[in-house]
Structure 1
Amino acid sequence: MLMATLGLYQLYWFYKQWDRVRDAGDNVAPAPRSLFSIVFCYSLFRRIIDSTHAVGVATRLPPSLLAVGFIVSSLMWRAAGSASFLGFLAFVPLVAAQRIANAVALGQGSTEDRNTRLTWLNWVGVVVAGTLIALLALATLLQNSGLGQPPTSKAYLSFVASVVNKTLPKKLDSETELVETEGLDGVLVYRYRMVNRSANEMDAGRLVRDVRPSLVTEACTSQTRQTLLDRGVTVRHSYRDKDGREVVAIDIVAADCADYVR
């Protein structure tokens, strides 16, 4: 129930535990101690562990371990990306503490209903919260992969580049090697290396005249046009010499495809 209610049951659990402590005669306020459970969790876990001694329940779990586990996992909600899902592990110390509390209650001869069955209302909560968790996980996955981002965003283009880079570097011909791709804001960059020539041996203007027409044709007659150019992305072909010095960069945009029929 802790996970299914997105942490709301956690408040209820702490409240009920502190309520029992108050019923036992201690002057505590359950509500604020439940709201600030990170601050007061160690005190509660220590009381639960200490209660085992009177009834002979054996446990090797120190209250400090339960407290550290709960505090660290609770703070993980603030983490970025998918790491925030580690916050769901906050239920683990509570389950351990509840098992110990149940054993103590049985040792004391308690006949109270331990509420081990889910009611129809519980199931409604499980289904609703489970759906929300699944949607949240999907949204996080899409955001981290870049697929949920605008096509001109660096995140999306970096994802595209990472897919292409799995096949690189690749020799295109005896003179040219496609080394890598890189996603920038609004720009997908293809980086080439002219493997046999240095910058002072190359005519940048002539290189542009020689390769630009074929690059435009390739971009405007392939899926690149629909997935990138028509969505506002600039495709940049950056040429470097054999020593890695940039010679020229050729940008292709949607307007370059005006003469090409879809």
Structure 2
Amino acid sequence: MQQHKETQEKSLFFQIGTEKLIELSLASFGLFGLVWNYQNWLQIERQNGNVNPFLRTLFSIIYQYDLYRRVHQQGQQDDEKPRWSPARVYLLYVLFNLIPVWLLLTDHPWGALVFMLTLLPNLLANQTINLIHDKRLHFFAQNTDLNGADWGIIIIGFVIWLTVMIVAMV
């Protein structure tokens, strides 16, 4: 997922349109949230150079609060005044990661689908990121268009969703 050159230079976080984040997260059964985390940490590393994006993504259950805190602080510094609290959003993120594990351990068939709820706290942070970047980036660099790989994820996800629905009905 190659970012536009201006996005890499001027953005503080990973820039992605809200609709695109929702579409890719739903199509990938929530796994795109890991890509979103990694890309945010990668952008923070480009700006500061003192984080390991892979480890912070791998252990996102621990480091997610720090990401939310950074986004919230930057939003306040840029006078965007986010209407969410990093601690509350992080609590939701932790719950939406632990509930699917518990459901899977108790052999609940829909446990894996509950993982998609991690999109909700990430969506709040992403909307603040978009507000921050509205002032910093040109429209063409805002990562709202779907490219070939994105369409591939959506089509494959759609086929898997249809298969899951058919199997569930039978």
Q: Which TM-score applies when normalising by structure 2?
A: 0.73
Structure with greater Cα Rg: 1
Verify: 1:69 aligned to 2:92, yes or no. yes
- Taking the aligned partners of 2:35 and 2:112, their CA distance within structure 1 comes to 22
Larger strand proportion of the pair: 1
- Taking the aligned partners of 1:77 and 1:130, their CA distance within structure 2 comes to 21
Q: Is the 8 A contact 1:18 1:28 kept in 2?
A: yes
- Taking the aligned partners of 2:142 and 2:61, their CA distance within structure 1 comes to 25
Larger helix proportion of the pair: 2
SS at match of 2:131: helix
Q: Cα distance, 1:138 vs. partner? A: 4.1
Q: Which amino acid is the alignment partner of residue 76 of structure 1?
A: I
Q: Cα distance, 1:114 vs. partner? A: 1.4
Aligned length: 141
Counterpart residue number, 2:59: 36
Name which of structure 1's ranges 61-70 and 77-86 shifts more when overlaid on structure 2.
77-86
Of 128, 141, 161, which aligns to 1:100? 128
Q: Percent identity?
A: 21
- Taking the aligned partners of 2:53 and 2:79, their CA distance within structure 1 comes to 27
Counterpart residue number, 2:42: 19
- Taking the aligned partners of 2:78 and 2:86, their CA distance within structure 1 comes to 18
Distance 1:98 1:137, change over 3 A: same
Q: Is the 8 A contact 1:76 1:85 kept in 2?
A: no
- Taking the aligned partners of 2:116 and 2:122, their CA distance within structure 1 comes to 11
Verify: 1:54 aligned to 2:81, yes or no. no
Q: Which amino acid is the alignment partner of residue 71 of structure 2?
A: I
RCO comparison, higher one (Cα < 8 Å, 6+): 2
Counterpart residue number, 2:117: 89
Write out per-residue CA displacement over residues 190-244 of structure 1, whole angstroms, 9 at most, x where no aligned residue: xxxxxxxxxxxxxxxxxxxxxxxxxxxxxxxxxxxxxxxxxxxxxxxxxxxxxxx
Q: Which TM-score applies when normalising by structure 1?
A: 0.49
Write out per-residue CA displacement over residues 137-191 of structure 1, whole angstroms, 9 at most, x where no aligned residue: 443x35xxxx6xxxxxxxxxxxxxxxxxxxxxxxxxxxxxxxxxxxxxxxxxxxx
Q: Cα distance, 1:75 vs. partner? A: 2.6
* Runs (5+) with no aligned partner, structure 1: 148-262
* Runs (5+) with no aligned partner, structure 2: 1-23
Q: Is the 8 A contact 1:48 1:101 kept in 2?
A: yes
Q: Cα distance, 1:96 vs. partner? A: 1.4
Q: Cα distance, 1:113 vs. partner? A: 0.9
Q: Which amino acid is the alignment partner of residue 63 of structure 1?
A: P
* Structure 1 stretches of 4+ moved >6 Å: none
Verify: 1:121 aligned to 2:149, yes or no. yes
Distance 1:73 1:133, change over 3 A: farther
- Taking the aligned partners of 2:110 and 2:35, their CA distance within structure 1 comes to 26
- Taking the aligned partners of 2:163 and 2:98, their CA distance within structure 1 comes to 22
